Amino acid sequence: MELPEKIQREIATRRTDILDLSRRIHADPELAFQEVRTSRLLQSVLSAEGFTVSQATGSLPTSFRAVHRLSTDRPRVTFTAEMDALPGLGHACGHNIIAAAGTYAAIVLKSVIGSEVGGTIEVLGTPAEERGSGKVRMIQDGIFENSDVVLQIHPHTLDTVVGQALARRTLTVKYFGKKAHAAAAPREGINALDALVLFYHSAALPRSKLPAGCLFHGIIEKGGQAPNIIPDYSRGRFSLRADTMSKLERLFEQVTALAQAAAAATGCRCQVTEPGPDVTTFRRNLALEDLFAGLFEDRGRSDPRKTRESYGSTDLANVSQVVPTIEPLVKASDFPIHTEEFAKDAVGVGGERALLDGVFFLACGGSRILTEPRLLDRIRQAFLEDANTAPGAAE
């Protein structure tokens, strides 16, 4: 029997367990950095299947690493399991599917592949994708250093293997003024809310004039305590995004200049900080895209090389800059991610089909990489050829 057939059979045998894992994660959503029960559940499933499980890095308590070594250490195929949910929406990004697919891809691959094959099968539990960019910390802590490829699927509204993500920088903008009675002594005050509102408008109004591929959006978090007190403190949180790193730098310079201008106009003091690390654009790997496009087509998911006109950001993009990485999107719903409808579909018919197909794609892709050394060479070569899309490179 060929490996894809064995993989298919193994998935059919484990179908109930795969769907059950996804449903259990979905029923108990946890926010970024707090994925305690989800992480524990995934670890216990992998440990019961004979994987050696440990915390991946001390700087992220809910991270984990599960490994199974075949006859050699390398190559190492890493499946990533995103675990966090969205505030108020639960698993509206389908991380229940991502986590269950990565976990069972590793389990299925371990079950079907001969122990004489060289390499290591790994699952990394990666916390805080929605807020905080956990994978960036894991890169900094060296967690991906031994990975030869990183594979992850994402449920979505379409089928595509093409990697696209916007670079993103988050900013916290604070203004400091002076309190005063808003009626009795208004001239004594320095209004920090005025400064933030002025900044918000001055940065938001030119949005339609931003270069293509650039976005600016945000919220006001603090704007005072009572209407009769002139606010001495205000705070907003903003995201800047761009389709190249150099556009992101230019946007950052423009926006911080406007923040300072609003301070000068109102007499406030301004402080701009970056609460989290930048996420980068996605470094596509054409050899991995070819591999997965073939798998998608064989499975009846046609036309898998579509590009999208609008898309978001992900910390997996940073991983793609250091290790050959792919994140194929598997259609799970007609509704966009980050909506209540998508959250429902993440355990509906479309979501479950995406999950089972996702396990198949990841396990087949992993098996090909472990058993075809020349394929891995092509993937490494494609990674080097795409170096011109690295951060800071020309547009």
Minimum CB separation from Zn ion for residue 338, in Å? 6
Minimum CB separation from Zn ion for residue 135, in Å? 13
Cis peptide before 231, with omega less than 30 degrees from 0? no
Give the number of residues written for the chain. Answer: 395
In the complex with Zn ion, which residue's Cβ is closer, 93 or 270? 93
Contacts of 223 (CB under 8 A, 6+ apart): 193, 196, 197, 231, 234
CA angle 319, 362, 13 (to 5 degrees): 145
In the complex with Zn ion, which residue's Cβ is closer, 92 or 143? 92
Contacts of 96 (CB under 8 A, 6+ apart): 22, 23, 25, 26, 346, 347
Give the 3-state secondary structure of residue 39. helix
In the complex with Zn ion, which residue's Cβ is closer, 93 or 363? 93
- Of 13, 5, 35, 26, nearest to 107 by C-alpha is 13
Minimum CB separation from Zn ion for residue 84, in Å? 9
In the complex with Zn ion, which residue's Cβ is closer, 50 or 87? 87
Question: For residues 131 and 93, is the Cβ–Cβ distance under 8 A?
Answer: no
In the complex with Zn ion, which residue's Cβ is closer, 85 or 363? 85
Q: Which two tokens stand for residue 178?
A: 């002076």
In the complex with Zn ion, which residue's Cβ is closer, 93 or 196? 93
Q: How far apart are CA 97 and CA 18, in angstroms?
A: 9
Q: At what angle do helices 95-112 and 3-13 cross, to 10 degrees?
A: 120
Minimum CB separation from Zn ion for residue 93, in Å? 3
In the complex with Zn ion, which residue's Cβ is closer, 110 or 154? 154
Minimum CB separation from Zn ion for residue 67, in Å? 27
Minimum CB separation from Zn ion for residue 325, in Å? 17
Minimum CB separation from Zn ion for residue 356, in Å? 21
Minimum CB separation from Zn ion for residue 142, in Å? 26
Place of tokens 């299925």: 108
Minimum CB separation from Zn ion for residue 82, in Å? 8
Q: How far apart are CA 339 and CA 93, in angstroms?
A: 8
How many CA atoms lie less than 13 Å away from 338 in the CB half-sphere? 5
In the complex with Zn ion, which residue's Cβ is closer, 235 or 338? 338
CA angle 200, 164, 301 (to 5 degrees): 130
In the complex with Zn ion, which residue's Cβ is closer, 180 or 346? 346
In the complex with Zn ion, which residue's Cβ is closer, 93 or 151? 93
Sheet with 120-126: list strands edge to edge: 52-54, 64-69, 120-126, 76-82, 149-151, 325-326
Q: How far apart are CA 60 and CA 127, in angstroms?
A: 7
Minimum CB separation from Zn ion for residue 368, in Å? 28
Nearest residue to Zn ion, using CB? 93
Positions that interact with Zn ion (CB under 5 A): 93
- Of 285, 271, 274, 219, nearest to 248 by C-alpha is 274
Q: How far apart are CA 269 and CA 292, in angstroms?
A: 52
Minimum CB separation from Zn ion for residue 94, in Å? 8
Compute CA 45 distance to the chain's CA centroid, rounded to the nearest angstrom.
23
In the complex with Zn ion, which residue's Cβ is closer, 122 or 129? 129
